[in-house]
Structure 1
Amino acid sequence: MTFAGQVVWITGASSGIGEAAAYAFARAGARLVLSSRRIDELERVRRACDRADEHHVVALDLGRADTFPALVATVLARCGGIDVLVNNGGVSQRALATDTTAAIERVLMEVNYFGPVALTKAVLPAMRARGAGRVVVVSSVMGHLGTPGRSTYAAAKHALHGYFDSLRAELWREGITVTLVCPGYVNTAISAHALGPQGEQRGPAESTHRSGITPERCAATIVRATARGRSEVYVGGREVAGIYLQRFVPAILRRIVRRMTFSVEARRS
């Protein structure tokens, strides 16, 4: 499995799954474009990658879709093309639906849905002109089901599935693949950085994420699925079973979800 000489653009590359994916793709021979809002952290990741001097850092805010055409032009000028786009950046939620402000719901949708869609649309013309390309979307188990405290996050992930399933059906004749990756709990800081009802960050990482799979295991799945052109893959622990319950016995899943609780007090614990 090799990506030798291929240009792989990864968003959310400054930590967590994105950082692990950067190391994995670099080991597979890729030339990387690393993006997030945190330039200093991106530089740290770049320096830690194999063949560090071959990679580029490009600051990107998923909430600023108006900047994407210029950023894509910059990447194309530096690299000559984009073989793989890994839409990994995003932000989670820990708030009851009735408490979450409309402004925060819009932030969650902008970063988790509209941003990846807009960046993909900005990259696609170059891929279509070459007749080849791979689009990877790091979704979530929450793209298939919903649980308390994650209403808008789940909505954004569900929306990603609808959009990119349709995009796959439109582009397969042009040599462009679309892969959806659905992680369960991964041991990253995503829960610590999740947004509360007013946009405040949650605080300490939850035990479910601390005991989750490693980012490296998730990244290995991403690289393997991308290389094989898989349409959709799941990676995680027992929580991934929820996808199958939703598909085959949704009534059982609904009973399980109804027993789950979420409160401000629990969120702070």
Structure 2
Amino acid sequence: MTFDNKVIWITGASSGIGKALVLELSKQNCKLIISSRRETVLNAVKNESQQPTNIKILPLDLADYKTMPIIVEKAISLFGNVDILINNGGISQRSLIIDTDIEVDKKLMDIDYLGTVALSKALLPHFIAQKSGHFVTVTSLMGKFSSPYRSAYCGAKHALHGFFDALRLEHNKDNIKVTMICPGFVNTNVARNALIGDGSTQNEQDTATENGLDVDVFAKRMLKAIKKQKFEAYIGKGETKGVYLKRFFPKLLHKVVLRSQVR
């Protein structure tokens, strides 16, 4: 699979992984729809790209998931179709379970899970009608195993795997592909923007994220996984080994994570 002449829709495109994907894909022969809540920032990303004339801006708020059918109609009208949806938008969390208000759990599920699912379900009939389509969903290694201080985030990311694995099975007959991208630590603002127990933002970087994979390197690896139409891709540094420890040696993973003291 190549990106030539494809229409690719990217959520969470204003910063971090989403922005890196936009800048990398803008070098290729494809058209992009870029979405996030902040239209002014999206315009800045568009202007920074190599082929801004091939990029359309479509603001959306994943928390407002009841509006997704209307958003999808707008997206399709921009270039006439959509070939790939990259579900990248979302937020993270950093707080102990005992200190986390239930409204924080709800917000993570509303944005990271229900917003992503609602958008994908709204686009699904279009993919079925054209007998092709590719859902690419950025989850996390935390969608495969868990870590302290991320209970709400882990819950939402685990849920995404359950939903999209079912979608892949149900619509294999319609030539619809599903790729789950599971980042480890990537040097973005995800930790700074993470919610803490009372629902406010953390507003500080953590060491593991700071020392994570460069976001441009991550974007290139992610695009290779999409081209190969992988079911799942684990992209990071040594932390990706946790997926295999969870599968074969879960008690050992438990000890490793406890010793790591990741905050």
**1:253 maps to what in 2?**
253
Shift of 1:41: 1.0
* Superposed displacement of residue 2, structure 1: 3.5
Q: In 1, are the aligned partners of 2:9 and 2:85 still within 8 Å (CA)?
A: yes
SS at the partner of 2:247? helix
Tell me which residue corresponds to 2:79: 79
1:17-32 alignment runs, 5 A limit: 17-32=17-32
Q: Partner letter of residue 99 of structure 1?
A: D
What is the aligned-residue RMSD (CA, Å)?
1.3
Q: Paired residue for 2:178?
A: 178
State yes or no: 1:205 paired with 2:208.
no
- Residues 231-250 of structure 1 aligned to structure 2 (within 5 Å): 231-250=231-250
Q: Distance in 1 between matches of 2:220 and 2:231?
A: 16
1:53-72 matched pairs, under 5 angstroms = 53-72=53-72
**What is the letter of the counterpart of residue 178 of structure 2?**
V
Structure 1 residue 60, shift from structure 2 partner: 0.7
Asked if the contact 1:34/1:42 (under 8 Å) is kept, the reply is yes
- The amino acid of 1:230's aligned partner reads K
Runs of 4+ in 1 over 4 A off after TM superposition: none
Aligned to 2:151: 151
Structure 2, unaligned stretches of length 5 or more?
A: none
SS at match of 1:59: coil
Post-superposition offset of 1:222:
2.0
Verify the 8 A CA contact 2:92 2:195 in the aligned structure 1. Answer: yes
**Equivalent-residue separation in structure 2 for 1:240 and 1:112 (angstroms):** 21
Query: 2:172, 2:85 → 1: CA distance?
Result: 16
Aligned to 2:8, what secondary structure does the other structure show? strand
Name the counterpart of 1:110: 110
Contact 2:141/2:183 (CA < 8 Å) preserved in 1? yes
Question: How far apart in 2 are the matches of 1:222 and 1:165?
Answer: 19
What secondary structure sits across from 2:148 in the alignment? coil
Match of 2:34 in 1: 34
1:196 aligned residue:
196
Q: How big is the shift at 1:257?
A: 2.5
Contact 1:185 1:212 in 2 (8 A): yes
| 1:120 match | 120
Q: Which residue of 1 aligns with 2:169?
A: 169
Distance 2:199 2:30 in 1: 36
- In 2, Cα distance between the equivalents of 1:2 and 1:216? 19
CA distance in structure 1 between the partners assigned to 2:155 and 2:237 by the alignment: 22
* Structure 1 unaligned regions, length at least 5: none
Tell me what 1:16 maps to: 16
CA distance in 1, matches of 2:260, 2:124: 41
Q: Does structure 1 retain, via aligned residues, the 8 Å contact 2:104–2:152?
A: no
2:146 and 2:112 map into 1 onto residues whose CA distance is 15
Hey, what's the Cα distance between the residues in 2 that align with 1:3 and 1:259?
Answer: 42
CA contact (8 A) 1:147 1:260 kept: no
SS of aligned partner of 1:259: helix
Greater mean alpha carbon deviation, residues 214-223 or residues 130-139:
214-223
Q: Could you tell me how far 1:4 is from its partner in structure 2?
A: 2.1
Deviation at 1:66?
A: 1.4
Report deviation, 1:260: 4.8
Residue by residue over 1:196-245, the C-alpha shift from the partner in whole angstroms, topping out at 9 and shown as x without a partner, is: 00111112211111111011122112211111111111110111111111
Work out the CA distance in 1 between the residues paired with 2:220 and 2:158. 24
Residue 28 (structure 1) shift: 2.5
- Tell me, yes or no, if the aligned pair for 2:33 and 2:57 is still in contact at 8 Å: yes
Q: Matched residue of 1:213: which SS?
A: coil
Give the letter aligned to residue 179 of structure 1: T
Are 1:94 and 1:149, in contact at CA under 8 Å, matched by a contact in 2?
A: yes
Q: Percent identity?
A: 40
SS for the counterpart of 1:98 is: helix
